[in-house]
Amino acid sequence: MEKEEYLDLYYQMVLIRRVEEAAAQLYQQGKIGGFLHLYIGQEAVSTGLISARQPQDRVITAYRDHGVAINCGIPAKKVMAELLGKTTGVSKGKGGSMHMADVSKNFWGGHAIVGAHLPLAAGLALGDQYLENDAITICMFGDGATNIGYFHEALNLSKVWNLPVLWVCENNRYGMGTAVERASAVSEIRQKAEGYCIPNDCVDGMDVLKVRQAAEEAIRFVRQNNSPFFLEIETYRFRGHSMGDPERYRKPEEVKKWEENDPIGIYRNHLIAKQIASEEELDLLDEKATKETAEAVQFAETSPEPPPEALFEHVYADVS
Amino acid sequence: MAKITMREAISQALWEEMERDPNIFILGEEVGVWGGTYAVTKGFYDHFGAKRVRDTPIAEAVIVGAAIGAALAGTRPVAELMTINFAFSAMDHIVNEAAKLHYMFGGQFILPLVIRTVGGGGRQLGATHSQTPDAIFAHFPGLKVVAPGTPEDAKGLLKSSIRSNDPVLFIEHATLYQTRGEVPEGDYTIPIGFSKVQRPGRDVTIVTYSKMLETSLKAAEQLAKEGIEAEIVDLRTLRPLDMGPVIESFKKTNRAVIVEEGWRSFGVGSEVASRIYEEAFDYADAPIQRVAQKEVPLPYNRNLEQMALPQVEDVITAVKEVL
Ligand SMILES: Cc1ncc(C[n+]2csc(CCOP(=O)(O)OP(=O)(O)O)c2C)c(N)n1
Ligand SMILES: [Mg+2]
């Protein structure tokens, strides 16, 4: 990997963190409505994962999607504008936090019904297989999503039809307030892939380089074999499930322990220890991310509200 | 009479029923340790324990399916679907199982089952999380559909739902939980399947239910200032639908506006309007008006969302249309 690439991974993670910290504030000020699910703590997962894809590879995820959107190359300002419901947002202010997508970046959303996008991912891969495209689909979902029927139907089909899809479970140990062990018969989620004879791996999601390496191998496998692969990524969300979560289900000490494993801190130390980058270089990137975030907020706040006509646009693709 | 919130009313009904009958238990996502995402079952887990307040995996089909099975086996489950939008994941079990089993097996199967869920828009949750698909569920014979608009009704109707031997879909509204109202002391029930006049009037009949009761009452207040007295009939139950008070009111006012939060096409308003025409056509002095949600998936943006949802002004305009 070139130095630039190392630094780029760092920058993406810091940018996601800053953007979400700003979003949390805007939420508290009432400028963002609805649900806001922060990705803070999990940044290394999508950053490492998506850095390993080819541009033709598709990405689809659940509602915890701001980080994924940024990793897919959507400018922070368009993410922020969507959070504020502005016309300049990625989904033109119609989707909000949970429903971001940018087809031009091969990012297929942002889906808020738990597990419902897994069958869609199987279908995206089916389309590519059918059209003989050299593309794979990367489908991200939470541990909680592996308990709904959609998950099992999609995995099974992907194996039976040899669909080029990479299933990525972000195991952050909780689905809302329910710990994995309380909801899933197996707490090592990859075992579920075994049940469908899908080759699998498990990786530490707090280490962006490990994620990237595992993702590279997994993506290569899917592309070469034209068949599914399952990657479990162990991670943790530092914030509540969404804003306003009373967090009665976990102890502050547990959160604190994980926060010591901050993926950004780990990576920063690594870059310095391996002399890939200096403190000063990284500080500059931190500043740059802070600046880009401030600009994104400014852009979003000064962007126009959607006009009333927008309400009736896009109900159907066929005009008239 | 005590003045309590809708949340308290629903919570009390559940609590009192569970105290009364040990065979009643709750299952659903985050109902236990979390205390319910709308805090309705707060404190239940500590009081009733893990056997009777069961956190489930995120798996709506098996929540409803298992509740049906457990009901058949002799318990009285109250299943909670976190929101009505997730009921679609359980549609088969609601429609093809719950609504059919008693009839299809010649009355042998008894399903004392309640599915509590939460509907409605207005919270900027976007298209998948803001729906009011009540009419869809009211389409199926065999299922009872209850959707209260006041704390008093919520408490009394939930108790009746729990005591009913039929499957009941009990639809709460996400923006009504803080609404306060008088509730009788002690144990009382309100029977399922009875509409109620919530405000008397002589000039026009407004037929509504759930959240839109609040909207209609506000509209009626404003209309009263102009000397227009609207009579508001609250359906309270969509199936079985009690047209009695609606027809009675219409025969008096000869004009009707139906207000619902869901989409207009194939909605509650369509059903109520045709029944009025069928039963009281000769009494009509003006075409019946329907106020409903604009025919779009609800957008996230606050202004657009509010444009799409029925507002007090829409009700006032519709009333003036029929006068
Ligand atoms: C079908 C469905 N049921 C319930 C919900 C409500 N809900 C939203 S997120 C969530 C927890 C999901 O947990 P997990 O899959 O582990 O993802 P995480 O939030 O941890 O990223 C639940 C229950 C939903 N959106 N869709
Ligand atoms: Mg999770």
Nearest-angstrom CA–CA distance, B323 and B320:
5
Report whether A46 contacts A68 (CB < 8 A): yes
Same domain, B223 and B317: yes
Residue A195 scores a pLDDT above 90: yes
Number of folded domains that form chain B? 2
Same domain, B172 and B215: no
Chain A interface, best mutation among B294, B304, B306, B309, by max A CB count within 10 A: B304
Same domain, B136 and B229: no
- Confidence band, pLDDT 50/70/90 cuts, at residue B186: very high
Handedness of CA B177, B301, B216, B212 (dihedral sign): negative
Q: Which residue of chain B comes nearest to A246, CA vs CA?
A: B34
Chain B residues with CB-CB distance to A154 below 8 A: none
Chain A residues with CB-CB distance to B308 below 8 A: 311
A73-95 burial: b if 16+ Cβ within 10 Å, else e: ebbbbbbbbbbbbbbbbbbbbbb
Nearest-angstrom CA–CA distance, A230 and A140:
10
Task: Give domain status of residue B28, yes or no.
Answer: yes
CA distance B174 to chain A (A): 12
Residue B213 scores a pLDDT above 80: yes
Nearest-angstrom CA–CA distance, A66 and A70:
6
Task: Give domain status of residue B189, yes or no.
Answer: no
What is the number of other CB atoms lying within 10 angstroms of the CB of residue B219? 29
- CATH number (domain holding residue B216): 3.40.50.920
**Using one digit for the tens of pLDDT, what is the confidence trace for B298-308?**
999 999 999 99
Contact B58 A115 (CB under 8 A): yes
Nearest-angstrom CA–CA distance, B39 and B20:
22
Handedness of CA B296, B298, B300, B302 (dihedral sign): positive
To the nearest 10 degrees (0 to 180), the angle between helices A279-302 and A3-28 is 40
Atom of ligand 1 nearest to the CA of A175: 13
3-state SS, chain B, equals CEEEEHHHHHHHHHHHHHHHCCCEEEEECCCCCCCCCCCCCCCHHHHHCCCCEEECCCCHHHHHHHHHHHHHCCCEEEEEECCHHHHHHHHHHHHHHHCCHHHHCCCCCCCCCEEEEEECCCCCCCHHHCCCCHHHHHCCCCCEEECCCCHHHHHHHHHHHHHCCCCEEEEEECCCCCCEEEECCCCCCCCCCCCEEEECCCCEEEEECCHHHHHHHHHHHHHHHCCCCEEEEECCEEECCCCHHHHHHHHHHCCEEEEEEEECCCCHHHHHHHHHHHHHHHHCCCCCEEEEECCCCCCCCHHHHHHHCCCHHHHHHHHHHHC
Same domain, B101 and B133: yes
**Using one digit for the tens of pLDDT, what is the confidence trace for B11-62?**
999 999 999 999 999 999 999 999 999 999 999 999 999 999 999 999 999 9
**Using one digit for the tens of pLDDT, what is the confidence trace for A40-96?**
999 999 999 999 999 999 999 999 999 999 999 999 999 999 999 999 999 999 999
Contact B33 A248 (CB under 8 A): yes
**Using one digit for the tens of pLDDT, what is the confidence trace for B102-134?**
999 999 999 999 999 999 999 999 999 999 999
Same domain, B179 and B203: no
Residue A292 CA, distance from chain mean position: 20
The residues, ordered by sequence, that sit 6+ positions from A130 with a Cβ below 8 Å of its Cβ are none
Chain B residues with at least one Cβ partner in A under 8 Å: 29-30, 33-35, 37, 55-62, 85-86, 89, 123-129, 294-297, 299-304, 307-308
Same domain, B54 and B8: yes
**Using one digit for the tens of pLDDT, what is the confidence trace for A4-52?**
999 999 999 999 999 999 999 999 999 999 999 999 999 999 999 999 9
Atom of ligand 1 nearest to the CA of A146: 15
Q: What is the mean pLDDT of residues B267-288?
A: 98
Same domain, B8 and B157: yes
> How many A from CA of B31 to the centre of ligand 1?
14
Average confidence score pLDDT of chain A: 98
Per the structure block, which two tokens stand in for B7? 């949340």
Q: pTM here? A: 0.97
> How many A from CA of A64 to the centre of ligand 1?
10
What residue ranges define each of the domains in chain A, with the CATH number in brackets? 3-302 (3.40.50.970)
CA distance B32 to chain A (A): 9
Same domain, B221 and B150: no
Task: Give domain status of residue B188, yes or no.
Answer: no
Which position has the token pair 């975030």? A293
Q: What percent of chain B has pLDDT over 70?
A: 100
**Using one digit for the tens of pLDDT, what is the confidence trace for B77-88?**
999 999 999 999
pLDDT at A319: 82
pLDDT at A196: 98
A43 touches ligand 1 (CB under 6 Å): no
Whether residue B60 lies in the annotated active site: yes
- CATH number (domain holding residue B147): 3.40.50.970
Residue B1 scores a pLDDT above 90: no
Nearest to A68 by CA among A84, A56, A53: A53
Task: Give domain status of residue B17, yes or no.
Answer: yes
* Among B148, B183, B218, residue at a domain's last position: B183
A64 touches ligand 1 (CB under 6 Å): yes
Show the domain range for B74.
2-183
Mutate to test the pocket of ligand 1, among A45, A176, A258 (most ligand atoms within 8 A of CB): A176
Residue A320 scores a pLDDT above 80: no
* Among B183, B206, B226, residue at a domain's last position: B183
Average confidence score pLDDT of chain B: 98
Same domain, B213 and B131: no
CA distance A174 to chain B (A): 11
Nearest to A62 by CA among A153, A138, A163, A162: A138
Same domain, B227 and B300: yes
Whether residue B139 lies in the annotated active site: no
Peptide bond into B240 cis (omega under 30): yes
Q: What is the mean pLDDT of residues B167-188?
A: 97
Sheet containing strand B76-81, strands side by side:
B53-55, B24-28, B76-81, B114-119, B168-173, B144-146, B237-239
The residues, ordered by sequence, that sit 6+ positions from B269 with a Cβ below 8 Å of its Cβ are B207, B258, B259, B260, B290, B291, B292
Same domain, B152 and B27: yes
Task: Give domain status of residue B191, yes or no.
Answer: no
Residue A305 scores a pLDDT above 80: yes
User: Considering every ligand atom, which ligand is closest to the CA of A39?
Assistant: 1
Same domain, B227 and B178: no
Q: What is the mean pLDDT of residues A295-308?
A: 98
Residue A188 scores a pLDDT above 90: yes
* Among B183, B207, B226, residue at a domain's last position: B183
A111: DSSP letter: E
